[in-house]
Each structure stands twice: as C-alpha cells, then as structure tokens.
Amino acid sequence: MSERSAPKGVAEPRPAATVMLLRRAAAGADGVAGEPGMEVLLMRRVRSMGFAPGAYVFPGGRVDERDADGDLPWTGPSPDAWAGILGTDVRMARALVCAAVRETFEETGVLLASEPEVAGEPVITLDTGTEEWERDRLGLVDRSRSFTEVLSRRGLVVRTEWLRAWSRWITPRVEPRRFDTWFFAAELPPGQESRHVGGEADLTRWTDPSDAAAAWEAGRMPMLPPTVVSCRELAACRTLEGVRTARRDIVPIEPDVRDVGGQIRIVTPDGAHYPLPKPNATP
C-alpha cells in the first residue's frame, strides 16, 4: 500500500500516520486574548530503536493493511472527503485515518472514538484504562486483534471529525528505512488522559510547543525536522482555536541529506537545514 514509487536503488517509503495530540494548558499559560495556551504530547523513542533512536516524536506509526477495512465504524468526513483532503485515493485515505487513531491509542491510551452521538446529549467519556481495554490495546500492538473488531464489539465509532490534517513528510532518499507520513492534529477527547505505556518510548511528556522548539534549539530535546517544524507551526497558532482555524495545504515535503559547511545536515525544500538528532541529549 504505497502512494509513491521510489527510483531504482532507493527504499520505497512506507505510508504512516502521526498525531499531534493537543490539550489546553493550565490557566494563565500564554495564549491569546485571555484564552489559555496549549500543550502537545511528545514521546522519546528508546535508544535501541532502529529509526530515530532517542528522538522526541508524536504518537504514530506505519499503516497496517487492515487499516483500510471498509467496515470500520466511522463518523465525520467520509473516506471520499478525506481522500480529497489528504491527496490520496479513498482506500489510502481510510487507512491513514484509521492508522492515526489506532496508533494514538496503542501508544498513549487515548482513543479518538465514542459511542454514536445522540442529538442533544453529551459525548460519553471513555475509560480506556481498564484491564479489558488494556488487553485490547496489547492485542492491537501485537496485531492479534483488528481495530475494526475492537471498536465494533463495543458499539463505538471513530470520530474522524476530531482529526485535522496538518502536513505530509517523506524521509530523505538516502535513508535505508523511509516513511511517507501524514501528520494530523487532534485535541484530547473530553474526560480522557494519556498514559505512558512503554513499548517504543521511554518517556512521555506534555509540553508547550514553543518550549519544545526552544529545547531543541538548545540541544536538550533531539527531534527530526518534521517534529521541529510542526512544533514551531503549533507555537505560531498559540491556542487550540488557532490550530482549528489554521490554513493547511497538504503537499509532500521531502528533505535531502547534504554536506553543509563540512557538516551532514537535513535540508528541507525551503533551504532550511537541521542537524541529525543526537540521542544522548537530556530531557
């Protein structure tokens, strides 16, 4: 399931999805016109990982073939509408949206789903911290259970209207492992809390996106360029409302790796260049 064909000798990028999970910051935090600022969830990848060890990332991962399942319970924009937004065919759009929601749940315990909404009634808060939910989460991680099965058994629907398409980044061609990753933004659902569940991450933290960008600049938080750029873009929005109303054009961004002044740098199409992340930085 691929949207791009790589030239001969270049690794094919695998489709993936990642979610910038956001929440309102505590009262008094920097915002606009009295509205509080916001925080984004970042996870530090364990240093044994083959891809970006020690780097801070958003929750996410590669698309699974079952993510394209047409029987997935669904509300919000249709797969056809998402295909137009994401610039893909319908099957890939369905898979990317599903992967975004599934991976977020697998890595944080936060589920962008609910019971079918009834007009005039509030959304019922999901408690995904129970033993039964944890068994399902682990079943998704080891692929012994499908996301459609987990949601359908409980009568839940994916709330795709809670996702906002943000950007699309493709790993440089020189890398042996490459991903074609669609970035989404989503607000923490009412009543839910994130959990540190281990696995690919050894640390999970909520932080102001401007603080995260500043920590990267100071060498305290290693991040790949897509994460740095996304944190800066979120910081420019200032508030959740700013993220909701930001104009986004989803076009593929594919950096290159070059020698810049005697140093190997990751260079984005706009000419900005970034150092390779160093996993020994401190949080």
**Lowest-confidence segment of 66-70, 183-187, 230-234, 250-254 by average pLDDT:** 66-70
pLDDT of 272 > 80? The answer is: yes
Q: How confident is the model at residue 198 (pLDDT cuts 50, 70, 90)?
A: confident
Considering only the top CATH level, what class is 14-252? alpha beta
Give me the pLDDT at residue 216, please: 92
Q: What is the largest CA-CA distance in the chain?
A: 62
The residues, ordered by sequence, that sit 6+ positions from 57 with a Cβ below 8 Å of its Cβ are 18, 42, 43, 44, 45, 223, 224, 227
H helices then E strands: how many in the chain?
7, 14
Instruction: Pick the closest to residue 281 from 217, 207, 197, 210 (CA basis).
Output: 217
- Per residue in 132-162, pLDDT (tens digit) is 999 999 999 999 999 999 999 999 999 999 9
Q: How confident is the model at residue 36 (pLDDT cuts 50, 70, 90)?
A: confident
> What would the two tokens of residue 163 be?
């996702």
Cα four-point dihedral sign 265, 183, 16, 208: positive
User: How far apart are alpha carbons 189 and 170 in whole angstroms?
Assistant: 29
Task: Annotate 39-70 with DSSP letters as a single string.
Answer: EEEEEEEPTT-SSSTT-EE-SEEEPPGGGG-T
Backbone angles phi, psi at 258, to 5 degrees: -140, 165
pLDDT of 87 > 90? The answer is: yes
